[in-house]
Amino acid sequence: MDKIQGTVDRVIDSNTFVMNVTRQDPANRYTYESSEKIQLSEDKTPEPGPPGGTYITNAHLLSPGNRVHCNIQARDVYRRVVADVWKY
């Protein structure tokens, strides 16, 4: 599973936000852009996140500048990254 970290640039709706990617895990299978549109996963049993992180189920809980960590599940048909997201 690929992992990226960064900061929230802006919230689009309750399950989508734009993230400024500042770190990509060296073990990632894919490369990500410096700015990615993130779609929150609807997975009820997400992969573990960073220690001290808060699992996000609604993008409205995020504010621009919040630091986030994403465990990537896939890309959707609109090329958004679908991920489990933690705020820390």
Looking at residue 79, the DSSP 8-state letter turns out to be S
Per-residue model confidence (pLDDT) at position 20? 98
The pTM score is: 0.94
The pLDDT tens digits for 19-78 are 999 999 999 999 999 999 999 998 888 888 999 999 999 999 999 999 999 999 999 999
State which amino acid sits at residue 40: L
**Interacting residues of 70 by C-beta distance below 8 A, sequence separation 6+:** 3, 4, 5, 19, 38, 81, 83, 84, 85, 86
Per-residue model confidence (pLDDT) at position 71? 97
Per-residue model confidence (pLDDT) at position 45? 85
Topology of the domain covering 3-87: OB fold (Dihydrolipoamide Acetyltransferase, E2P) (2.40.50)
Per-residue model confidence (pLDDT) at position 5? 98
Per-residue model confidence (pLDDT) at position 73? 96
